[in-house]
Structure 1
Amino acid sequence: MNVIVGNKLKILRKNKKMSQEEVADYLDISQSAYARMESGESHSWASHILRICKIFGITPDELLKLEVNNKEISSGQIFNQLSDTVIEQYEERIRELKKVIKDLKEDKKSLKS
């Protein structure tokens, strides 16, 4: 979620032709603290969300939504999609590891023979 909001902050800031330092000054934080928000390293954007929205003229809901192919997707939908993808990747990795174990057991049996 931090990366999604961070990317959105960066786009909004650049569209307003503002520097990180200008936004940071408005939020009364350091430029490096704001840079961490944009990079997704920090979740402190949540404590500044109303002021951030005021700077960029958006609502909190707009900040937390992502557009994909001109369709708005909520952060919950993104989380669910990412969760499903991660689960599928782990399941595939488990299948691969089971095959490796099976092959190793077969190799061990053939060496004993």
Structure 2
Amino acid sequence: MNTTIGKRIRTFRENKGFSQEELAEKLHISRSTYQRIENGETNSWINHIENICHSLEVNLDDILKPEEGYVQVNNNNESTNDNGSGVIQNQTINYHNSDRLIENLYDTIASLKEENRLLKEEINLLKSK
């Protein structure tokens, strides 16, 4: 699980002054589910990322970008800054892979929106019968 993303979400939530309960309500999930997202115990944040960004008024990039102080790694898995020690600390994926991940997340969000729209149509048809 990814604790870094959970920590970023927590920081943005705290900066907005929301409690876990308040943000969970906005996301239509239980507080315990939300708590698991912040603690990095689940990757279900991906299912709620659009609402998280909207509720916290942040961009997806703000949640997914590498943190300051993290060493950038290129496609050859070579450190671009290893402090001369030969040890890579706080390794992150390179920006190219991050961009691909972000594109995939946007595609997933679009697919989920379309699926949601179709389900709503189906529900409306069933209600009208």
Residue in structure 1 matched with residue 33 of structure 2 by the alignment: 33
How far is 1:2 from its partner?
1.7
Q: Please identify the structure whose Cα radius of gyration is greater.
A: 1
Higher-RCO chain (CA-CA 8 Å, sequence separation at least 6): 1
How far is 1:65 from its partner?
1.0
The amino acid of 2:92's aligned partner reads: I
Report the aligned-residue RMSD.
2.5
Residue in structure 2 matched with residue 4 of structure 1 by the alignment: 4
Residue in structure 1 matched with residue 18 of structure 2 by the alignment: 18
The amino acid of 2:54's aligned partner reads: K
Unaligned runs of 5+ in 1: 81-113
Residue from 80, 92, 112 that aligns with 1:78: 92
Unaligned runs of 5+ in 2: 73-90, 95-129
Which structure has the highest helix share of the two? 1
Residue in structure 1 matched with residue 121 of structure 2 by the alignment: none
* TM-score normalised by structure 2 residue count: 0.53
- Cα displacement string for residues 89-113 of structure 1 (whole angstroms, at most 9, x for unaligned residues): xxxxxxxxxxxxxxxxxxxxxxxxx
- Cα displacement string for residues 8-66 of structure 1 (whole angstroms, at most 9, x for unaligned residues): 01101110111000000000000000000000001000011110000111111221013
CA distance in 2, matches of 1:61, 1:16: 18
Aligned residue pair count: 77
The amino acid of 1:2's aligned partner reads: N
CA distance in 2, matches of 1:78, 1:62: 15
CA distance in 1, matches of 2:11, 2:66: 12
Answer whether contact 1:24 1:34 (CA < 8 A) is retained. yes
How far is 1:67 from its partner?
2.5
Identity %: 43
Answer whether contact 1:4 1:66 (CA < 8 A) is retained. no
The amino acid of 1:52's aligned partner reads: I
Q: Runs (4+) of structure 1 moved beyond 3 Å? A: none
